[in-house]
Structure 1
Amino acid sequence: MLNEKDVLDLPEDLKKQLGVKSGAQVEVHVGTDELKISRTKPIEARKRRWGMIILTAIMSAVFVGYFMVRKMYQVSLVGSESVATMVLMLTTLSGLLSFTTVFIQLKRQSGSAVEAVSWRNLPTVELACTLISFMLLAGLFWIAGNLFKGASFDLVTSTALFALITSVEVLAINSIVPQLSSRLLTNIFIAVIVSGVILAMISNQNLYWWKHNLSFLGTNEAVHSWEFNLALIFAGLILVALVDYLFASLKRLFPKSRQLLVLRILLTLLAIDLALVGVFPNNVHMHPLHTRVAGYLIFLVLTLIFAIKWLLPDISKDFLHTSWMIAGALLVGEILFQVVGYLSLTAFEIMAFLLAFSWLVMLFERLNDYLEPIQNHKYVIK
């Protein structure tokens, strides 16, 4: 039995205009200044499924062809020529192609959530999703490589494994693109940076990294330092995409706001600086450069916190008070570390990271609130 809230009662003349009958399914798009009703197209879902099957088959054929040309009939799980390497190359490429195809299809459909995304945002959002996919797959194979050391498969089994991973990747992309939003990108940004840091901490637990500093996780002395640095680089690039996507939408609500333009520039500089912290790890020859870009990161966050009252339209008192409390905690932590000597370098870095990161997430949630309510609902015609 259908829920009443999922049933839409429309006048007969509007039904004729939409070309729908009782029992037909429609999608309602609610925007900040618009409401669109469009028919759902199950045929598009079938096309995407066939596209997934065809793309998986093509990539699997490339996978088999490569190893047959190399005369390798036993394929390692991880390594230079392995299932992991081919997945990182071909499966990531499959996700990129699928993302582009589905985005273009949905962009041409009236009433889809993607319609609100400008064509200019496509490269940055596409890059962010590709980087996330690559990082997720790399992390999964790193875990698998540690769990199943020395594992290898015959060509048939390895091809089946590759095809399964590729089909799941394409299916996930097909499901994510229709739900694309700034809030989704915000959640992905959080997941990438948190998971990257935690994986780096776990992999270096036997080296007692906490006796050095947080930046030790990205140095040559750390185990798998690329994970920590890559997480920072990817998080910075995702943040660039998120800022570009978010402020392109906010520009329609506040077309002549100079404050939002300044806020956008500061957040973009913050994203670039975050990526540079990963590009220049705290090795001996890069220590001065690493320290400088890390210092800029704290400076930019404090600038944003103290200036947010003037940069963000209609800022709430609760958010403002929370921002000042976080800024105060950062300053107190600086005094306890630099002047009093109570905090160790590691404790200070972790505290500063958590406070700054928490405030940044709160800021993006506040910016996302300006774009609400923008959502899609499916109804059945009464």
Structure 2
Amino acid sequence: MLEEKNFLQLPKQLKEHLGIKSGNNVEVTITQDGLIVKSPQKPTEIHERRVSTIILIILMTIAFLGYFIVRKIHYIPLTGNESVATLSLGLTTLSGLISFSTSFILLKHKKAAVVQAVSWRNFPTVALAGALISFMLMAGLFWIAGNLFKGATFDLATSTAIFAMITLIETQTMANLVPRLSSRLLTNTFIAVIVSGMVLAMMSNQNLYWWKRNLSFLGTTNAKSAWEFNLTLIFSGLILIALIDYLFVSLKRVFPKNKQLLILRVLLTLLAVDLASVGVFPNNVQLHLLHGKVAGYLVYLVLALIIGIRWLLPNVSPDFLHLSWLIAGALLAGEILFQVVGYLSLTAFEILAFMLAFTWLVMLFERLNDYLEPIQTRNYVVK
């Protein structure tokens, strides 16, 4: 059976602006604010992107090579202070940020429909989130590679080739992310960063039996690679701030002058700042009291959000409300089992509370995304 085709008739000027002609396929997205028509990229635009990517990779590779020539280092370790990993985390992350920013600015100036939902005000936070995500991903991959290939060292030519390949992948990926920007993408990224960071921290400390102490042990000086755990919390907090900024600026168009949403935004921003602060102030001896207070505020903020969501979230559904009360009840039950009954250990209680709070937070962002995400997407053939 032949696939049914939908035809869309567009004015001549609009077709010229989109760079399409009769017979081309376009994707039409129906949103809360109207229609978004996505057109295929023009060959000239693709060529421009490729040229700029090549120039950026060459410049970063020269910087990488120049550093080790100046330092007179001819054999470079995979990981360490002066290594492929260290310079890649710096230079490659910078190249990804430049690639992302350049692609965004070009598409924004050309008024491409794919980035119109992202305002100039959102751009710094979204770009920062993208850079942080790529940094976290590379740090995790280099940690795994460092454990798999302990003591690996490469000559200058091989190291430069590895760096150039990593930078090429990074710049291409970051540029390709721009047309796919959405609040749901940032939400999924936040989930991936915090979960993968936690898992990596747990795995790297499995021989230290961290679970016999508490979850916060993973960020102390007694833990192995404590920076991974602390940076996960800091970066997750920063990504969360970017996501909140992106979401609530967009939500203003759907719910203008809504005071309840403003209160919700303030509480969520405080939660994000507090989450980052848990990583900034690890549970070391000298910071134990401050860490305890910051972690305690995190619990209070989550409970305040769950209890107040009925009044803070517009058109809250009964299902979401019931699930919120169920999670609040589970948090309270965990507190009783830990503090009163003594059934749960500190680590078990911390992990349970984190999982419940994290699950509810993800549910909340999915609900907020529902207000903004397209209702329907269909493919049309231009007449």
1:190 matched residue in structure 2: 191
Deviations 1:20-54 (A, max 9, x none): 53323434343212114364332222221222111
1:307-344 per-position Cα deviation (integer Å, ceiling 9, x unaligned): 00000000000000000000000001101111111111
Give 3-state SS (helix, strand or coil) of 1:21's partner.
coil
Structure 2 residue aligned with 1:234? 235
1:290 alignment partner in structure 2: 291
The correspondence of residues 66-215 of structure 1 with structure 2, limited to 5 A, is: 66-215=67-216
Q: Give ranges in structure 2 of 5+ residues lacking alignment.
A: none
Contact (CA 8 Å) 1:96, 1:130: kept in 2 or not? yes
- For the residues of structure 2 that align with 1:17 and 1:326, how far apart are their CA atoms? 50
Deviation by residue 1:278-320 (Cα, 9 ceiling, x = unmatched) = 1111111111100101000000000000000000000000000
Residue 177 of structure 1 and its aligned partner are, at CA, apart by: 1.1
Q: TM-score, normalised by structure 2?
A: 0.95
What is the distance in 2 between the residues matched to 1:374 and 1:113? 16
CA distance in 2, matches of 1:252, 1:276: 31
Q: For the structure 1 residues 52 and 8, does the alpha-carbon distance in structure 2 shift closer, same or farther, using more than 3 Å as the test?
A: farther
Please give the secondary structure, in 2, of the residue aligned with 1:28: strand
* In structure 2, C-alpha distance between the alignment counterparts of 1:26 and 1:337, rounded to whole Å: 57
Give the counterpart letter for 1:37 in structure 2: V
Distance 1:132 1:37, change over 3 A: closer
- Using the TM superposition, name which of 357-366 and 77-86 deviates more: 77-86
Kept in 1, the 8 Å contact 2:194–2:232? The answer is yes
Amino acid at match of 2:11: L
1:57 maps to 58
| Cα RMSD for the two superposed structures | 1.8
**CA offsets, 1:76-105, max 9 Å, x none?**
111111111110111011001011101111
The CA distance in 1 between the partners of 2:2 and 2:55, in whole Å, is 36
Tell me whether 297-306 or 126-135 shows the greater mean CA deviation. Answer: 126-135
Deviations 1:180-210 (A, max 9, x none): 1110000000011101111111111111111
Q: Answer yes or no: is the 8 Å Cα contact 1:28–1:111 preserved in 2.
A: no
1:249 corresponds in structure 2 to 250
Task: Give 1:18's match in structure 2, choosing from 10, 15, 24.
Answer: 15
Aligned position for 1:369: 370
- List alignment gaps of at least 5 residues for structure 1: none
Compared CA separation, residues 3 and 53, structure 1 to 2 (3 A): farther
295-304 vs 68-77, greater mean Cα deviation:
68-77
Question: How many percent identity over aligned positions?
Answer: 66
> Counterpart amino acid of 2:23?
G
Partner AA of 1:41 in structure 2: Q
User: Mean Cα displacement is larger for which, 359-368 or 57-66?
Assistant: 57-66
Residues 41 and 376 of structure 1: CA distance in aligned 2, closer, same or farther (over 3 Å):
farther
* 8 A Cα contact 2:8 2:380, kept in partner: no
Contact kept, 8 Å, 1:18 with 1:38, in 2: the verdict is no
Name the residue aligned to 1:269: 270
Cα distance, 1:379 vs structure 2: 4.2
Shift of 1:110: 3.1
Cα 1:107–1:8, aligned 2, differ >3 Å: closer, same or farther?
A: farther
Distance 1:17 1:284, change over 3 A: closer
Contact in 2 for aligned 1:22/1:381 (Cα 8 Å): yes
The structural deviation recorded for 1:64 is: 1.3
Change (3 A) 1:113 1:288: same
CA distance in 2, matches of 1:273, 1:381: 50
